[in-house]
């Protein structure tokens, strides 16, 4: 099942690799860590990028036009709502066998 990432969603980082020197202090992602999506936008070369709440880019990166992280570095965290869980836990009615 493919879920599109949207602002406000919580995501898990699945790719924290970067070319040496690409990320400035405080920008490095941690694989397996959870982040909240702030905004989604298309970068200058047409790739979908995201900004993260509580994880801003370094001012020097912003000055060079690197505002976000590639969306492919993240996957949505599926958190079922309480109604779904309770419906799955209800007993299944027995069917009469003819």
Walk across the sheet containing 48-53 and list its strands.
69-70, 48-53, 34-42, 10-13, 74-76
**Mind listing the pLDDT tens digit of every residue in the chain (98 residues)?**
346 899 988 999 999 887 666 666 677 888 999 999 998 988 878 889 898 988 877 666 665 666 788 899 999 987 666 677 677 778 877 777 66
Say how far residue 95 (Cα) sits from the centre of its chain: 43
User: Domain range holding 20?
Assistant: 10-89
The number of domains in the chain is 1
Distance CA 66, CA 44 (A): 9
- Residue 49 located in a structural domain: yes
- Residue 1 located in a structural domain: no
- Residue 65 located in a structural domain: yes
Q: What is the pTM of this model?
A: 0.69
């Amino acid at each position: 099942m493919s879920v599109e990432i949207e602002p406000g969603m919580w995501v898990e980082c699945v790719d924290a690799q970067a070319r040496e020197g690409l990320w400035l202090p405080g920008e490095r992602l941690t694989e397996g860590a959870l982040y909240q999506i702030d905004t989604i936008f298309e970068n200058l070369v047409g790739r979908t990028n995201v900004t993260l709440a509580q994880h801003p880019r370094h001012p020097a990166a912003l000055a060079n036009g690197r505002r976000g992280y590639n969306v492919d570095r993240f996957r949505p965290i599926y958190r079922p709502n309480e109604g779904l869980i309770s419906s799955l836990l209800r007993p299944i009615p027995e069917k009469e066998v003819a």
